[in-house]
Amino acid sequence: MDRYVLGRLLGKGNFAKVYHARSIVSGEEVAIKIMDKDHLSKLDVTHHMIIREIDIMRRVRHPHVVHILEVMATKTRIFVVMEFVGGGPLNDCLIHRRIDEASARRVFQQIVCALDYCHSLGVYHRDIKPDNILLDAVGNIKVADFGLSALTDTAQREAQLHTVCGTPMFIAPEVFQRCGYDGAKADVWACGVLLFRLMAGHFPFNHKDTNMYHMIHRCNYRCPRWFSVGLARLVRRMICFEPARRITIPEIKENIWFKDFNEIQCSCS
Catalytic residues: 127
Give strand pairing partners of 128: none
Question: Which DSSP helix (H) or strand (E) runs through 77?
Answer: strand 77-83
Greatest distance between any 2 Cα atoms in the chain: 56
Instruction: Characterize the bridge pairing of strands 150-151 and 123-124.
Output: antiparallel
Is 33 marked as a binding-site residue? yes
Taking each helix axis from N to C end, the angle separating 183-200 and 229-238, rounded to the nearest 10 degrees, works out to 140
CA 160 centroid distance within chain: 20
CB-CB contact of 188 with 249 (8 Å): yes
Give strand pairing partners of 141: 135
